[in-house]
Structure 1
Amino acid sequence: MWDRQIPELTRQWRVVRFDLPGHGGSPAYPAASIAELADRLVATLDVLGVERFGYAGCSIGGAIGAQLALTRPQRVTSLALISSSPRYGTADSWRQRGVVIRTNGLDPIARTSPERWFTPGFAGAQPAIVEWAVQMVRTTDPGCYIAACEAMASFDVRSSLQRIGVPTLVVAGSEDQVTPTTDARTLVAGIPDASLALVPGTSHLAPVEQPAAVTELLIRHFTAAWHDKPGTATAQTAIGAAAPEPVLGPAPPPPPTAPAAIESGLAQPEAVRGGAYEQGVKVRREVLGDAHVDRVEADTDDFTGDFQEFITRYAWGEMWSRGGLDRRTRSIITLTALVARGHQDELVLHTRAALRNGLTPTEIKEVLLHTAVYCGVPAADAAFAVAQRVIREETTPEG
């Protein structure tokens, strides 16, 4: 990712590069959030004796950079956000990608990555780089990739941009469809001391597709930023990671104990006393998806409002938020109950939710087979038809 920038940057500064967990040479300890990834990077910099630093990151690396500037402002002297956004796509799209990976592995994502990352002209002229990109994804730990998708699903700093108080360069490729220029302009509009650099004829991985242009922009930005800040002559540059795919360099150290795997469903919030409704909205969106909850909220009126509040507060804010059972187990119980009662509309919804919560199609099949014995063959037969349709829709890779 940064190979073409490093020789020039190291002429002036010490440069630290890092891999995301399970990417490249980094151990496979999934991180549940962008905040956790930022904390791990800070822990690594502490070990290396780096106190203050400038930071450059591309895609998810940009998210980590924004998080650092918000939560560790005393450490970050300047920021470069490349192909970045205050919110990357939708939470539903990231969780859907996790479902596809659980079902089909990383190969479908790997094969389509060059289409998202490079312009057609560059991809056609640089087959070796295209193959590098494909292999980079294929060799990533699937659990860590899914965890990175979950981290991106929950990342949203749109309301906090004004608190980023360091000089910030925002770099956007004019042809980037992953983080379009509108996302870059949102960053510039929200961050008080931000400037925009548009790189023409470039897609998502601008440091790879236009290395010379990106290198020049970084050198000019960091030189100017540190020249204007007394006492930062010894500041360090930490180069960030790419989209949930690997980059080179030392990885952040694992936490004392490995965090709960995202696909296990254990990484769920605790119920908040006095805030059951707000907790319910949060959990309902995480399990059922933003699109469904948005439709429900749009259709809610005086007639249905009390019922929706009841469901949100007690089903989602209380039962689904309790400890004792993880979300995978709750999905199994819910599927069984819906089969037994013949609630096929809800079965559509909760088959999707089960996939989100980490159940594989094989596990869902086993649940439905089990219900044939205890709930009746006709009920299971109808459930199989519903689940088959949903699984095909949810696990078919895009493109």
Structure 2
Amino acid sequence: MTAPRLHHHAEGSPTAPPLILGPSLGTSLALWDGVAPELSSAHRVVRWDLPGHGGSPADLIKPGATVGDLADLVLTLADDLGIDRFAYAGVSLGGAVGLHLAVHHPERLTSLTVLCSSAHFGGAKNWEERAALVRKEGTAGVAETAPSRWFTPGFTVERLVQDNRDADPAGYAACCDALAAFDLRDRLPDITVPTLVVAGREDPATPPAHLREIADAVPDSELVELAGASHLAPAERPAAVVGLLRTHLGQAAKRGMEVRREVLGDAHVDRAQARQTPFTARFQDFISRYAWGEIWTDPTLTRRERSMITMTALVAHGHLDEFGMHVSAALRNGLTPDEIGAVVQQCAVYVGVPASNSAFGVAQRVLAEEGLA
């Protein structure tokens, strides 16, 4: 029997770069209705519901839950969907989940966007009182006052207010417990993933000062304040949020192209770009964004180690043209001719002598062209 997991909705190609979107307390995945479809043309977009909200069972978390518990549920969902690394964007409590993931599981994130959120939510007292109220009287009262916390005057999204009314009191209260205990301010400087921080200029729940605090502490992060937005910016300013996310997510492709040039050399990349056609453009973007922007930038392995692994795989599959290119790349990554020869020698044992023999011929030619043989 399959264990219960977060209710979610996925859209976009299963092979596209994954983007996971997290909700605010009291809302459902409908919070992203104006954003997710627009981003799904280039990403595998997965939205999820908090426990007790939308379609997620309330008993996924218990009283005294933490943001870490919610982050574990997100990772379990990603694992179930076969998603290893992903971009993440979240609003309010969903943003806190993203901060926790960036601190405690940075190897899973390719980028982080924190919207209308905080590294702390004003201390425990107010959240403990709200949790007690909801456990006693249900969510009708907090739903009644939600529009004033969520939206600028004169704007509302009734679907989201109804989501708050419909939220299971136990699940909602446990999420309040998580907010009460959350304080990640001292860990913000540890965040290393590319981070965008978005504030609603008219947000009374998490005012811009809270987002500035995050941006000031997270190295190399970017802060944007949205005019005409309160706490639920994706619902109130969806086009602006789409634009910000597209730009932020596109940084992986930009960094990937930089790394591609550093490893393969300008001449090779220029030739590849010159041969690009409308038919191959999407594939070239995939190579820059995923292979070079995510895999080769992952600090778990050094570039030297990645060169050795890549050369071995290319010899094993007989891709000798690519192998020759990566012999040159290995030199740029700091391998000596003797080390390259040792890699090819080991291939003779584990891949086969004929494959290794052919690879030695290619490597000898490349090293001669480089004046090293």
* TM-score category of the 2 structures, normalised to the smaller one: 0.5 to 0.7
1:228 aligns with 2:261: no
Structure 1: 4+ residue segments shifted above 3 A = 229-232
Cα shift at 1:136: 0.5
Give ranges in structure 2 of 5+ residues lacking alignment: 1-30, 260-287, 295-373
TM-score (norm 2): 0.60
Which aligned pairs between 1:30-69 and structure 2 lie closer than 5 A?
A: 30-31=60-61, 32-69=65-102
Letter in 2 for 1:47: D
Contact 1:166 1:193 in 2 (8 A): no
What is aligned with 1:26? 56
Letter in 2 for 1:43: T
Cα shift at 1:160: 0.2
Distance 2:72 2:160 in 1: 27
Identity %: 47
Cα shift at 1:47: 1.3
Structure of larger gyration radius: 2
Match for 2:127 among 83, 87, 94?
Answer: 94
Letter in 2 for 1:105: G
Letter in 2 for 1:201: G
TM-score (norm 1): 0.56
How has the CA–CA distance of structure 1 residues 149 and 177 changed in structure 2, closer, same or farther, with 3 Å as cutoff? same
What is aligned with 1:179? 206
Match for 1:115 among 128, 148, 165?
Answer: 148
Cα offsets for 1:147-185 (capped at 9, x unmatched): 000001001000000011011100001100100010010
Question: What is the number of equivalent residue pairs in this alignment?
Answer: 230
What is aligned with 1:190? 217
Distance 2:248 2:120 in 1: 24
Cα shift at 1:25: 0.5
Distance 1:152 1:226 in 2: 34
Cα offsets for 1:269-296 (capped at 9, x unmatched): xxxxxxxxxxxxxxxxxxxxxxxxxxxx
Cα shift at 1:225: 3.4
What is aligned with 1:216? 243
Cα offsets for 1:345-386 (capped at 9, x unmatched): xxxxxxxxxxxxxxxxxxxxxxxxxxxxxxxxxxxxxxxxxx
How has the CA–CA distance of structure 1 residues 52 and 226 changed in structure 2, closer, same or farther, with 3 Å as cutoff? farther
Letter in 1 for 2:40: T
Cα offsets for 1:61-117 (capped at 9, x unmatched): 000000011111111010000001100122101001012112322101011101100
1:9 aligns with 2:39: yes
Report the RMSD for the aligned CA atoms in angstroms: 1.6
Give ranges in structure 1 of 5+ residues lacking alignment: 124-128, 237-399
1:71 aligns with 2:104: yes
Cα shift at 1:232: 5.0
Letter in 1 for 2:100: Q
Distance 1:226 1:158 in 2: 30
